[in-house]
Structure 1
Amino acid sequence: MYCIKKIIDDLFWVGGSDRRLALFENAYPIPRGIAYNSYVLLDEKTVLFDTVDRAISGQFIENVEAVLGGRNLDYIFVNHMEPDHCATLGEMVRRYPDVKVVCNAKTVPIINQFYEFGVDDRAVIVKEGDTFSTGKHNFTFYMAPMVHWPEVMVTYDATDKILFSADAFGTFGAMNGNIFADELNFEREWLDDSRRYYSNIVGKYGVNTQALLKKVADLDIQLLCPLHGPVWRSDICWYMDKYCTWSSYEPEEQAVMIAYGSIYGNTENAANILACRLAERGIRNIVMYDVSVTHPSYIISEAFRCSHLVFASATYNAGIFSNMEHLLMDMKAHNVQNRTVALIENGTWGVMAAKKMTEIISGMKNMTILDQTITVKSSLKEDQLSEIAALANTIADSMSK
């Protein structure tokens, strides 16, 4: 049985949610599931905006058929050709053999890589600034390469002031009946997943995201329809401001995140003592993560949020503790920059963790590494507590500047 939601009079949400999937892109934990959004417009010509992942194909097809109510499907607008949004494209072409596929030139070869139905003779190629009418509705297309694939575009409906934004402005999390952001406590219950989605899926491409934000800055956007997560019909500027902050790599908050890699607990102890000294200096809402327990995607998300980062690592095989090294390399790959960093290292012999961490962090842009590295030899000693306190003072002082 179908499950559809009316967005406005002639536009319907026909997507669905997957609460069984454990890893998005087989990489990122999604304990709250994921939503796949697709939309149908009933104009003089009918339009399907993207498709969905194969996991919810049955629900999706029933939804589309219910909205069309026996009408033919005239167009599929393909804003993004990643499989979680195109896995059912071939099935829709099979069911509606006369359908035209509206896409840009970079999309065509990708469709042909995934499918054998031969898109060339049914493709309607659009480019930057092109317009397209389906009757009452008039659309304009804006290319958004590397947000986060090279073929991505967004589609703006000038009639009803709707931006179909592809993967931009998406978030992890399944829909639970309420599909509009204003029906949810988004800031409390969804913002962390939205930040983690952006920082890990799109985060490397901040320059490209900034370019897209500039393209749509002057548009009157009354509805924001992403391919994952809630639909926005209010507070759109607030949400776009979050994207502006994240994509410019500026910290969202003056806050401290401490990530530690500890083998027998001594490095963790040093990190805990630093956290206590920071709290005594009035630093609030300090967050701490064990890199062996917490998936890197959560810590990367916090690195996008926080202004100050502390990494405490045991030395392992004359280098960085392996899970800490993985985190730092992942942070570098996701283009984390413009942060203040403090380091704590530990080792019984051949202490090398700070040197190796510095080498990775120095390869990131505009990272200020504080001079006061704490070196622990096996376990923290009484006479080193003053060093911890001094480091806490330096961090706190740098936050007030």
Structure 2
Amino acid sequence: MKCVRKVTEDIFWVGASDRRLALFENIFPIPRGVSYNAYLLLDEKNVLFDTVDFAVSRQFIENLKGLLGEKTIDYLIVNHMEPDHGATLQEIASIYPDMKIVGNAKTVQMIKQFFDFDIDSRSVVIKEADTLSTGKHTLQFYMAPMVHWPEVMVTYDMESKILFSADAFGTFGALNGNIFNDEILFEQDWMDDARRYYMNIVGKYGAQVQALLKKAANLDIAIICPLHGPVWRSNVEYFINKYDQWSRYEPEENTVMIAYASMYGDTEQAVNILAAELAEEGVKNIRMYDISNTDVSELVSEAFRCSHLVLAAPTYNGGVYPVMETFLLDLKAHNFQNRTVALIENGSWAPAAYKNMKQILEEMKNIEMFEKPLSIKSALKESQMDELVDLKNRILVSLKGNNE
């Protein structure tokens, strides 16, 4: 039985959702699951846009057969060859033996790396701005390398003004019948997953996203069909603007994220006091995370969202507490930049956390660090409250400066 949704009169969503998968790419927790989107155009030539992960292949194939009946697929357009979208490519090719496979030169190379069937005799290799007519529709192709693999491209349908955007504009989360952004409460229920998806999957490649956005700016886009998450058929500028802001590494909110590690509660107590002091001065929407109990993908997402970070950690084995080091290295790997950071260290006999945190942060771009850290020996004492208040005041001045 097919389970499809109509995007336009002749374009259909034929994907499926996986609510059983616990870790996306076997690393990112997805408690709400994930969707694998594929789309079918019924025209003089029938076109399939991407395939799906093996986990949902049964539903996907039923969707195709339910719509096509005895008809065939003339073209499969491969916008992205990552296995969560390309794993069923060979199976679809065997079901529809006359189907041509459309992609760029890197796409064909990657298909050969994953599969052993004869791709050369079936491939249609395209380049930047090439077009393909399917009858009523004309499809145009634009390269989007490293958003987020080197072979990635997007396809623009001139007739329906749809951008098939590959992994760009994707979101964690399974689709629950409502596949369109105007059928859900996106900002309330989906934005955190959209941000976490972008920051962890694409966030490193801001320059490449900016290059794609410049190409997209020349297109009249009415609908965005990504490979994960909701289809955008209204207010598409909202999500495009988010991608523009994220890919320029600009914070979304002028506020403070406090990320701390604490073995016995003393470092935690210090940041609790700091948070209360900041709140008393009117700082709103402070976010605080025990990084030992928070997945690093969520920490990365929040760090990108906030303008100011307070990082607090004890010394451990002559260095910084391991989970803090992991967090900082993950920020570095995702090209984290353009933020203000305050550091708090704890060390009972030989404090070294500040030095180690500072060293990693100095390897990132445009990170403004307060020169004087708050250094605690075992536990914050009343005699150090002046130092904590001084740190609070420096944060307040910096926050105010961002607002001016």
Partner of 2:134: 134
How far did 1:102 drift? 0.5
For structure 2, which runs of at least 5 residues remain unmatched after alignment?
none
C-alpha distance after superposition, 1:363-395 (max 9, x if no partner): 000000012310000000001112111111111
Q: Which runs of 4+ in 1 moved over 4 A?
A: none
Structure 2: how far apart are the matches of 1:105 and 1:112? 11
Partner of 1:94: 94
Which AA in structure 2 matches 1:305?
Answer: R
Structure 1: how far apart are the matches of 2:256 and 2:36? 34
Q: Quick check: 1:202 aligned with 2:211? A: no
Partner of 1:223: 223
Partner of 1:342: 342
Partner of 1:189: 189
How far did 1:158 drift? 0.6
Matched length: 401
Structure 1: how far apart are the matches of 2:378 and 2:243? 43
Structure 2: how far apart are the matches of 1:208 and 1:28? 22
Partner of 1:281: 281
SS in 2 for 1:238: helix
Q: Provide the identity percentage.
A: 62
Structure 1: how far apart are the matches of 2:182 and 2:66? 26
TM-score (norm 2): 0.99
C-alpha distance after superposition, 1:38-58 (max 9, x if no partner): 000000000000000000000
Which AA in structure 1 matches 2:326?
Answer: H
TM-score (norm 1): 0.99
Which AA in structure 2 matches 1:26?
Answer: N
Q: Quick check: 1:173 aligned with 2:173? A: yes
Which AA in structure 2 matches 1:100?
Answer: K
For structure 1, which runs of at least 5 residues remain unmatched after alignment?
none
How far did 1:222 drift? 0.5
SS in 2 for 1:360: helix
C-alpha distance after superposition, 1:77-103 (max 9, x if no partner): 000000000010010001001100000
Structure 2: how far apart are the matches of 1:382 and 1:118? 74
SS in 2 for 1:332: helix
Which AA in structure 2 matches 1:333?
Answer: A
Partner of 1:25: 25
Partner of 1:385: 385
Which AA in structure 2 matches 1:279?
Answer: A
SS in 2 for 1:267: helix
Contact 1:277 1:388 in 2 (8 A): no
C-alpha distance after superposition, 1:183-218 (max 9, x if no partner): 111011101100000000000000000000001112
Partner of 1:242: 242
Structure 1: how far apart are the matches of 2:108 and 2:220? 30
Structure 1: how far apart are the matches of 2:266 and 2:371? 22
How far did 1:9 drift? 0.4
Q: Quick check: 1:351 aligned with 2:368? A: no
How far did 1:69 drift? 2.1
C-alpha distance after superposition, 1:9-45 (max 9, x if no partner): 0000000100010000000000000000000000000
How far did 1:344 drift? 0.3
Q: Quick check: 1:160 aligned with 2:160? A: yes
Q: Quick check: 1:74 aligned with 2:70? A: no
